[in-house]
Amino acid sequence: MTAPDILLRGVVGSHAYGLATEDSDVDRLGVFAWPTGHILRLRPPAESIITSSPDTALHEARKFVSLALKCNPTVTELLWLPDRLYEVITPLGEQLIGIRQSLLSSTYVRNAYLGYATQQFRRLENRSEHGDHSFSSDTKKRTAKHAWHLARLTEQGVLLYTEGKLDVRVTDPGFYHDFGEEVAAGDTGIAKLKIGQAETAMDTMGSVLPEHADETAAEAWLQAVRREYYKLPG
């Protein structure tokens, strides 16, 4: 099988947020397209291609826009990266970035960002020893990372929900690292409080986003991809 054509790929994760440490891997995320002939086979090709050397996740065009319409935080951030973090950007990739606002909806942004933050909190709770919010030395680093991811998700979620924009790179990396260390030291209550503050902010300020995303824009982009790659087996 031929290799897929990458439409858009960039550096995401800790390096994009400005929170990378010496131990942080470089994570990449991208969108690709299979030729039509591959998609129409009895056994269609994979919708995602994940590799570990280097750490890269690629999603086929249809799967990517489906995840984007659900405001998946990781997928969404690819469309809001600073220009310097894009490694591959084709005309179809530019078009996808161009419709990023149309893919947002208030309901999915709230559910996705608060939902992912809550998942991080549960990981913290489940990892604490004996239910007393203490962490063993070998898990403190991982706990701190999950905690600052939680803080990042809540703050980015509030901004996206209330103003309709996403700042991928955080303005004060020190705050997030300190927050993570504080949680890892045993204060998981501040993590729960962070989620509650985000919920209150969303309730108080309301959203500039529509209740439903513009699926017409997503469909038009996907059809443009299919026309570009309309290649049947010879």
- Of residues 230 and 160, more confidence is placed in 160
In this prediction, residue 137 carries a pLDDT of: 59
- The least confident of 51-60, 73-82, 190-199 is 51-60
Contacts of residue 164, Cβ cutoff 8 Å, sequence gap at least 6: 101, 104, 208, 209
Measured CA to CA, the distance from residue 161 to residue 155 in angstroms comes to 10
User: Over the stretch 21-61, which tens digit does the pLDDT of each residue have?
Assistant: 887 889 999 999 998 888 888 888 899 999 987 899 999 99
Measured CA to CA, the distance from residue 182 to residue 18 in angstroms comes to 19
Measured CA to CA, the distance from residue 207 to residue 198 in angstroms comes to 13
- Mean of the per-residue pLDDT values for the chain? 90
C-alpha distances in Å from residue 150, one per residue of 114, 174, 177: 9, 15, 11
For 94: left if phi > 0, alpha if psi spans -120 to 50, otherwise beta; the answer is alpha
In this prediction, residue 190 carries a pLDDT of: 94
Tokens 């993570």 correspond to: 180
In this prediction, residue 122 carries a pLDDT of: 86
- Of residues 233 and 107, more confidence is placed in 107
Percentage of the chain with pLDDT > 70? 92
Average pLDDT (187-208) is 95
Q: For CA atoms 113, 201, 211, 91, give the dihedral sign.
A: negative
Give the orientation angle of helix 215-228 with respect to helix 91-98, to 10 degrees. Answer: 180
Domain segments of the chain: what residues? 5-103+214-228, 106-205
